[in-house]
Structure 1
Amino acid sequence: MAIFALENRLQKYDWGSAEYLPEFLGRDNPSGEPWAEMWMGAHPKAPSIAIDPLTGTRVALDALVAANPASVLGKSTVDRFDGKLPFLFKVLSIAKPLSIQAHPTKRKAEHGFAGEEFASIPIDSPDRNYKDRNHKPETVVALGPFQGLCGFRPIAEIVRNIQTLSPEDWPKLVRRLAADPGMLELSVFFYTFVSLTGDSKTRTLTYTRRRSERIVAAEPAGSATARIFTCVLELMDVYPDDVGALAPLVLNLFELAPGQALNIAAGQAHAYLHGNAVEIMANSDNVLRGGLTHKHIDIPELISLLSFESAAFTPTPMASTVNGFGTYDCGVPDYAIARATVHGTMKAGRRAHVPEILLCTAGSLSVSPGKGLPLPLSKGSSVFVTADHGPYSLSGDGELFRASMPT
Structure 2
Amino acid sequence: MELLRNAVRPYAWGSRTTIPELLGRQVPAPHPEAELWMGAHPGDPSRIVGADGAERSLLELIEADPHAHLGPECSQRWHNRLPFLLKILAVEEPLSMQAHPSAAQSAEGHAREEAAGIPRDAPNRNYPDPTAKPELVCALTEFHALAGFREPTRTIKLLRAVETPGLAKYTELLAAQPDSDGMRALFTTWITLPQATLDELLPEVLDACVLHVKDHGEFDTECRTILELGEAHPRDAGVLAALLLNRLTLRAGEAIYLPAGNLHLYLHGTAVEILANSDNILRCGLTPKHVDVPELLRVVDFTCCDMPILPGEPSACGAVYHTDAPEFELSRCDWAAGEQGDLRVQTGVPQILLCTAGRVQVRGDDGAELELGRGQSLWLPAADPAVHVRPVGDGRTQLFRATSGK
Q: Same fold (TM over 0.5)?
A: yes
Distance 1:103 1:59 in 2: 31
Q: Which residue of 2 aligns with 1:348?
A: 343
Assess if the C-alpha contact under 8 Å between 1:347 and 1:392 holds in 2.
no
Assess if the C-alpha contact under 8 Å between 1:104 and 1:305 holds in 2.
yes
Letter matched to residue 334 of structure 1: E
Q: Which residue of 1 aligns with 2:119?
A: 122
Equivalent of residue 231 in structure 2, options 237, 241, 259:
237
Equivalent of residue 285 in structure 1, options 266, 271, 279:
279
Q: Which residue of 1 aligns with 2:138?
A: 141
- Per the TM alignment, residue 346 of structure 1 is displaced from its structure 2 partner at its CA by 3.9
Q: Which residue of 1 aligns with 2:380?
A: 385
Distance 1:374 1:326 in 2: 25
Q: Which residue of 1 aligns with 2:357?
A: 362
Letter matched to residue 264 of structure 2: H
Q: Which residue of 2 aligns with 1:394?
A: 389
Assess if the C-alpha contact under 8 Å between 1:348 and 1:391 holds in 2.
no
- Per the TM alignment, residue 389 of structure 1 is displaced from its structure 2 partner at its CA by 1.3
Q: Which residue of 2 aligns with 1:160?
A: 157
Distance 2:62 2:17 in 1: 33
Assess if the C-alpha contact under 8 Å between 1:232 and 1:247 holds in 2.
no
- Per the TM alignment, residue 174 of structure 1 is displaced from its structure 2 partner at its CA by 3.2
Deviations 1:4-48 (A, max 9, x none): 100000110000001110001111256520100000000100000
- Per the TM alignment, residue 168 of structure 1 is displaced from its structure 2 partner at its CA by 5.2
Letter matched to residue 356 of structure 1: Q
Distance 1:27 1:56 in 2: 19
Q: Which residue of 2 aligns with 1:93?
A: 90
> How is 1:206-285 mapped onto 2 (pairs within 5 angstroms)?
206-220=203-217, 223=218, 225-285=219-279
Please give the TM-score of this superposition, normalised by the length of structure 2. Answer: 0.94
Deviations 1:213-246 (A, max 9, x none): 11111225xx4x1111111111112212222123
Letter matched to residue 190 of structure 1: F
Equivalent of residue 81 in structure 1, options 78, 83, 88:
78
Assess if the C-alpha contact under 8 Å between 1:100 and 1:291 holds in 2.
yes
Letter matched to residue 361 of structure 2: S
Q: Specify every segment of 5 or more residues in structure 2 that has no aligned partner in the other structure, as ranges.
A: none
- Per the TM alignment, residue 301 of structure 1 is displaced from its structure 2 partner at its CA by 0.9
Q: Could you say what secondary structure the match of 2:129 adopts?
A: coil
- Per the TM alignment, residue 197 of structure 1 is displaced from its structure 2 partner at its CA by 2.8
**Identical counterparts, % of pairs:** 36
Do structure 1's residue 36 and structure 2's residue 7 form an aligned pair?
no
- Per the TM alignment, residue 381 of structure 1 is displaced from its structure 2 partner at its CA by 0.5
Q: Which residue of 2 aligns with 1:403?
A: 402
Deviations 1:125-169 (A, max 9, x none): 111111110000000000000001000000111212222222556
Q: Could you say what secondary structure the match of 1:108 adopts?
A: helix
Assess if the C-alpha contact under 8 Å between 1:345 and 1:394 holds in 2.
no
Please give the TM-score of this superposition, normalised by the length of structure 1. Answer: 0.94
Distance 1:96 1:188 in 2: 29
Q: Which residue of 2 aligns with 1:297?
A: 291
Letter matched to residue 348 of structure 2: H
Q: Could you say what secondary structure the match of 1:129 adopts?
A: coil
Assess if the C-alpha contact under 8 Å between 1:346 and 1:393 holds in 2.
no
Q: Could you say what secondary structure the match of 1:349 adopts?
A: strand
Q: Which residue of 1 aligns with 2:109?
A: 112
Letter matched to residue 51 of structure 1: V
Assess if the C-alpha contact under 8 Å between 1:69 and 1:78 holds in 2.
yes
Q: Which runs of 4+ in 1 moved over 6 A?
A: none
Aligned residues: 400
Q: Residue 78 and residue 401 in structure 1: after superposition, are their counterparts in 2 closer, same or farther (change >3 A)? A: same
Q: Residue 330 and residue 271 in structure 1: after superposition, are their counterparts in 2 closer, same or farther (change >3 A)? A: same
Letter matched to residue 290 of structure 2: H
Q: Which residue of 1 aligns with 2:11?
A: 13
Distance 2:17 2:342 in 1: 34
Assess if the C-alpha contact under 8 Å between 2:344 and 2:389 holds in 1.
no
Equivalent of residue 57 in structure 2, options 43, 60, 66:
60
Q: Which residue of 2 aligns with 1:182?
A: 179
Distance 1:29 1:23 in 2: 6
